Structure 1
Amino acid sequence: MHHKERKVTQKVYGFVGLGNMGGPMAARLVAAGYTLHVYDRDQKAVDAVVAKGATAQASARAVADASDVVFLSLPDGKIVNLVVSGDDGLAGASRAKTVVDLSTIGPDAARKAFATLAERSITYVDAPISGGVGGAVKGTLAVMVACQQALYDELLPVLQTFGTGFYMGQDAGLAQVMKLANNLLSATAVAITAEAMAMGVKSGLNARTMIDVINAGSGRNSATADKFPKAVLTGTFNVGFAAKLAHKDVRLCLAEAEAIGVPMMVGAAVREMLVATTAICGPEADYSDVARVVEDWAGTKIRG
């Protein structure tokens, strides 16, 4: 038994994608004492994690050739597909037997990645995360996982470096559906809070008082509890999550809902709000810029 436990702890891990979420998560793995090989196209992002004790590799494939388990934290399904099945993709790895995908890519892309890797006897684990950059730094993320129960049990100790694990079932795509449902709610909270706050402020209410009342009442949500106090009342608009990524998540959610026959009239309105935000504020717009768009349209400022 002791020998088996020792073998599990000696596994070597890889991490591909060291962005806003991936960087802090990789750093947490190193801090927890795991051996980690990393790759990202952004050399600065690589250098930051290497300075903490990770080993840099020249490509995603090189990471998979040096590791037993590879984590992915990438922007979308197209990039995950490229990293998995491109000429120099993970599917050809000589060592890695498990790929744990922390990205939000939608159920179709997750099922595709699973099938591609299964052909090479590599197991794809659908494991999107929620909790923002702060959660990634502090290790308080929700990690939604779809894979065989035995594999989930085996991975759980390392996943707990990132936060709390939730087992969603064994089929790839199930964890993506859970993540999309969560992010639909998150985006809706941002959009509707912007409208309610703009109305109150333009009528003469104090923005900080409004937030305090809402958080003490039945209107409380993730936007009033965290995003608006941090990024809108301060005028910094720096949640650290791109509006275009929020749009991608809502779009994927609506596509899944349409495919299975679930109406999403409110979701459709939220999607259009995110489209407008990126169109008006530019491709680098922050998630909280939704409120800036409503402010401009309303001719008022939601400030503390």
Structure 2
Amino acid sequence: MAEVAFLGLGVMGFNMAGHLACEGHSVRVYNRSKGRLKLWCDEFAGEACDTPREAAAGAEFVMVCVVDDDDLRAVLLGEDGALAGMAPGSVLVDHTTASADAARELAALAAEREVGFLDAPVSGGQAGAEAGMLSVMVGGDPAFYDRAAPVMEAYAKLTRLMGPVGSGQLTKMVNQICVGGLLQGLAEALHFAQCAGLDAKAAMEVISKGAAQSWQLEHRHQTMLEGAFNFGFAVDWMRKDLGIVLEEAQRNGAQLPVTALVDQFYAEVQAMGGGRWDTSSLIARLKKPA
């Protein structure tokens, strides 16, 4: 069992930190919203801290799961930031979906303090976090990964080292490219089935046993038909992620015409007031389901 700090108790981090506590790790937690912090401590065994630095002091591992690059720097840097409290030899594991550039920047700052760094974004959504069945894609030094992987198993069904620092974030970008394209394809397929007079639910059940099968089809087609989007990964967050993807593509020369188009479609969903809807709400801009 390890001494662990967990920074960020949002939709994902709340349950990830909870799994660490349930596995018997000694967990100190920090969250900007004190109400969320109290809620976590009411449910799990752990210690609430007033600053990231306080949470990180004495921890062998510091896990972070916040919204974006700016939030990440806010909890890690400065006098009250986690890095100021971390001891040499400890390991910082960043589960935020952020840019590869931010990962490399923070890894360099961590190295100055003799602290290990892993960029380790996750996939699996809220359901995966609740079940402790996330996929974790990791960038960093193999020695740091070997130390942190057994701790991450508390909330992961799979962890894999993808390469040097930044590789985890680049792999998460691959994930978001796939998810956006799959959801747009599913939205169009359901819309087409309805326009053609088919039983769209029955059509999905049939094609889910063939080459069109996917997690999104299996778990989202029914709620898409019902027009239910008040759960899951928010459109606002997906647009943040796709912005990171498209910026990285400009840098590395990748051509992503479909991803750019899906990002525009998500902007339309935001304009409809759906910024906090689940990403499956792409169907809403085609036709509101009955």
Shorter chain as denominator, the TM-score bin is over 0.9
Q: How many pairs were matched up?
A: 287
3-state SS of paired residue (1:100): strand
3-state SS of paired residue (2:286): helix
3-state SS of paired residue (1:295): coil
* Correspondence list, 1:136-155, <5 A: 136-155=129-148
Corresponding position: 1:32 with 2:37:
no
1:239 and 1:287 in contact (8 A); partners too? no
3-state SS of paired residue (2:128): helix
Counterpart of 2:162? 168
Identity of aligned residues (%): 30
Q: For residues 98 and 42 of structure 1, do their structure 2 counterparts lie closer, same or farther at Cα, with a shift above 3 Å needed?
A: same
3-state SS of paired residue (1:288): helix
Q: Deviations over 1:83-114 (max 9, x none)?
A: 12234212211547221001100211111111
Task: Read off the aligned partner of 2:94 and give its amino acid letter.
Answer: D
Q: For residues 234 and 283 of structure 1, do their structure 2 counterparts lie closer, same or farther at Cα, with a shift above 3 Å needed?
A: closer
Give ranges in structure 1 of 5+ residues lacking alignment.
1-8
Of stretches 32-41 and 119-128 in structure 1, the one that deviates more from structure 2 is 119-128
3-state SS of paired residue (1:20): coil
Counterpart of 2:34? 43
Structure 1: 4+ residue segments shifted above 4 A: none
* Correspondence list, 1:284-295, <5 A: 284-295=276-287
3-state SS of paired residue (2:92): strand
Give ranges in structure 2 of 5+ residues lacking alignment.
none
For normalisation by structure 1, the TM-score amounts to 0.89
Cα distance in 2 for partners of 1:55, 1:219 equals: 46
Shift of 1:73: 0.6
Counterpart of 1:273? 265
3-state SS of paired residue (2:118): strand
Corresponding position: 1:104 with 2:97:
yes
Counterpart of 2:4? 13
Cα distance in 2 for partners of 1:175, 1:183 equals: 13
* Correspondence list, 1:1-304, <5 A: 9=1, 11-51=2-42, 52-95=44-87, 97-163=90-156, 164-169=158-163, 171-229=164-222, 231-296=223-288, 301=289
Shift of 1:172: 1.2
Cα distance in 2 for partners of 1:138, 1:242 equals: 19
Q: Deviations over 1:34-59 (max 9, x none)?
A: 00000112223212321210110001
1:184 and 1:249 in contact (8 A); partners too? no
Cα distance in 1 for partners of 2:16, 2:169 equals: 19
